[in-house]
Amino acid sequence: MAVNDILEIGRQGLTSNRQALQTTSSNIANANTPGYTRRRAVVETNNLSISQGVNLGSGVEVKQVLRVHDQFVNKQIINESQSFGGVKAKSENLSRVELVAQRDADNVNNLVNKFFQDLREVSVSPETTAIRNVVQSSGSALAGGIRNMFSDLEGMKQDLDYRIEDSLSQVNGLTRELAELNRNIMQGSARKDTVLDLEDRRDSVMRELSQKINFQTHTDDLGQFSIVTGGCILVQGDRSNDLFAERTAAHGEKGAGSLDIFIKNHGEGRRVTSGITEGELGGMMYVRDKVINPAIDHLDKIAYHVATQVNSIHREGEGMDGVSGRDFFKDIGTSSAGASFRFDLHDAIKDNFENIAVGFSGEAAGSNEIALKIANIQNEKGLATSHLGTQENYTINESLNALVGRIGVETQREGNLFAHHKDVVQQLENYRQSVEGVNLEEEAVNMIQYQTVFNASAKAMKVGEELFNTILSLKN
């Protein structure tokens, strides 16, 4: 081995260990940087040189700097985060729905009790005008309570639509960034540039996106990610397709006027609502379409039942003016759809409480059969209600309690799922961090090791220089 080979090997040792030290320093500096993946310098020996049949070392070099990356764990995190994002959105929004529904249902239950109790009291003194005034007031309060409960449920639907629009905006921002990252990574790789930071960012964006919406990923031969949701392409290479929302007619479980989600594909919108089942978007649409809509439908049936049953009996009686055939509540139509929104006192009862019928037409002034018959509606099991997978006939109060009970069961179930998925995601993230995260103690050991070899390489160069000077002095 020539003396200049010793100098070259020393130089390579200095260069490679300097690069390794630089990599280690970068790891330490980014120990707390979100999304940062630990780097590892791959140090390999150069091709061996052979002199007189003897294998001689020919130095070392850093072949490449790699991310310590577990692709399988990252894929698991992305898949699990989709479920986690969905149950989180369900749990948080269901808790709000349950709170409002419980409060409003308690209020309506009290108003139902008050209304029918006042009818029983008017039956005791049917000739007393003042008690009819009380019935008018309690009937109006009951109608107002049901309308208020409908308004609160409808308001939460609209709030969820606003949240869905905001979430769509975030999804579009992430997919555009992914397309941009795909382009930059492909261009950087073609130029042999370091793209590790870009790959870190792409992984972080993918994990963030997975909590917003469910999707499938595909990787082509060039390492470019494609993302598909609802059977449509969101990201393909350096191109992305935006999602947008429009209010549409009712279809399936989606109510009229609620937002539908579409994807812009070749200038046209293709509906993908049914394909979005997980993530934050899927969770919010689940609460809107499968919890709040059925709750409103349930409330409509209660309002329709009360109005039609009370009216059919009230028409058989007559007011204090001797006129019969009047409705107590406004005509609510032949369908329960929208009944809770339309539920109100009939104008004739609103204008004059003396028009309230207490007894049958043509009977003496002290007749009270109409009031008693209407009051008995409260205890009749005339409402067919689906509850916990069974169909039963309930009273008005029982049906209201069943409405709240169904929401409560959903809330508890999703709350348990949320806690479970949260633990699973946390465990996966902890494992990812154990593999990809920076261990300061390990990096400190590496730094000492690389520093020691760096110093030794410098010593080798010093020895080579002394040998070279010695040879020159001998020659002279």
Q: How confident is the model at residue 269 (pLDDT cuts 50, 70, 90)?
A: confident
pLDDT band, residue 368 (cuts 50/70/90): confident
- Owner of token pair 């139509």: 333
Sequence-distant contacts of 296-299: CB under 8 A, at least 24 apart:
296/150, 296/153, 296/154, 296/157, 296/255, 296/340, 297/336, 297/337, 298/385, 298/399, 298/402, 298/403, 298/406, 299/146, 299/149, 299/150, 299/153, 299/340, 299/403
This prediction has a pTM of 0.87
Yes or no: say if 236 and 225 are a contact pair by the CB < 8 Å rule.
Answer: no
Alpha helices in 315-395 (DSSP H): 339-342, 347-351, 369-375
Q: With 70 as the cut, is the pLDDT of residue 227 above it?
A: yes
**Residue 155 covered by a domain:** no
Angstrom distance (rounded) from CA 296 to CA 161: 16
Judged by average pLDDT, the poorest of 146-150, 196-200, 463-467 is 463-467
pLDDT band, very low/low/confident/very high, at 83 (cuts 50, 70, 90): very high
In single-letter form, the type of residue at position 102 comes to Q
* pLDDT tier, 51 (very low <50, low <70, confident <90, very high otherwise): low
Tell me whether residue 353 is in a domain: no
CA 280 to chain centroid, in Å, comes to 2
Q: How many separate domains does the chain show?
A: 1
User: Per-residue pLDDT averaged across 374-385, rounded?
Assistant: 88
Find the mean pLDDT for residues 444-460. 88
The share of the chain scoring above pLDDT 70, in percent, equals: 93
Q: Does 240 reside within a domain?
A: no
Are 59 and 79 in contact, with CB atoms under 8 Å apart?
A: no
DSSP 8-state class, residue 321: T
**Confidence band for 265, pLDDT divided at 50, 70 and 90:** confident
Mean pLDDT of the chain: 88
Average pLDDT (383-411) is: 84
In tens, the pLDDT along 87-145 reads: 999 999 999 999 999 999 999 999 999 999 999 998 888 887 888 899 999 999 999 99
Predicted pLDDT at 363: 67
Highest mean pLDDT among 33-37, 96-100, 355-359: 96-100
> Which two three-digit tokens encode residue 318?
């007559």
Contact 222, 186 (CB under 8 A): yes
Per-residue pLDDT tens over the stretch 274-333: 899 999 999 999 999 999 999 999 999 999 999 999 999 999 988 888 888 999 999 988
One DSSP character per residue, 283-310 reads HHHHHIIIIIHHHHHHHHHHHHHHHHHH
Q: How many CB atoms lie within 10 A of CB 20?
A: 25
Distance CA(301)–CA(396), nearest Å, equals: 10
In whole angstroms, give the CA distance from residue 304 to residue 121: 24
Answer yes or no: is pLDDT of 457 > 90: no
- Report the pLDDT value the prediction gives residue 365, as an integer from 0 to 100: 60
230 located within any domain: no
Confidence of residue 49 (pLDDT cuts 50, 70, 90): low
Q: Which of 57-71, 191-205, 289-303, 406-420 shows the lowest per-residue confidence on average (mean pLDDT)? A: 57-71
Please answer whether residues 256 and 223 qualify as being in contact, where contact means their C-beta atoms are separated by less than 8 angstroms: no
Least-confidence region, from 63-72, 101-110, 397-406, 457-466: 457-466
Pick from 8, 1, 2: which is nearest to 460 by CA?
Answer: 8
Could you count the other beta carbons within 10 Å of the beta carbon of residue 469? 11
Among the residue ranges 191-205, 216-230, 330-344, the one predicted with the least confidence is 216-230
What pLDDT sits at residue 141?
96
**pLDDT(79) > 90:** yes
Confidence check: pLDDT of 50 > 60: no
- For residue 398, being part of any structural domain is answered with no
Cα distances (angstroms) measured from residue 281 to each of 91, 205, 209, 214, 226: 13, 17, 11, 9, 20
Residue 25 maps to a domain: yes
What is the percent of the chain where pLDDT is above 90? 54
The mean per-residue pLDDT over the stretch 448-471 comes to 82
Please give the residue that has the higher pLDDT: either 395 or 476. Answer: 395
In this prediction, residue 55 has a pLDDT band, given cuts at 50, 70 and 90, of low
Mean pLDDT in residue range 394-408? 92
Q: In DSSP terms, which residues pair with 259 in a beta bridge? A: 247
Q: Report DSSP letters for 216-239, one per residue.
A: EEEE-TT--EEEEETTEEEEETTE
Domain limits for position 46: 3-68+437-475
Segment 179-191 mean pLDDT: 87
Residues in Cβ contact with 128 at an 8 Å cutoff, skipping those fewer than 6 apart:
122
Least confident window among 247-261, 322-336, 394-408: 247-261
Establish if 54 belongs to a structural domain: yes
Of the ranges 76-90, 254-268, 442-456, which one carries the lowest mean pLDDT score? Answer: 254-268
Is 9 part of a structural domain of the chain?
A: yes
Distance CA 470, CA 475 (A): 9
Tell me the C-alpha to C-alpha distance, in Å, between residue 59 and each of 2, 65, 162: 13, 18, 64
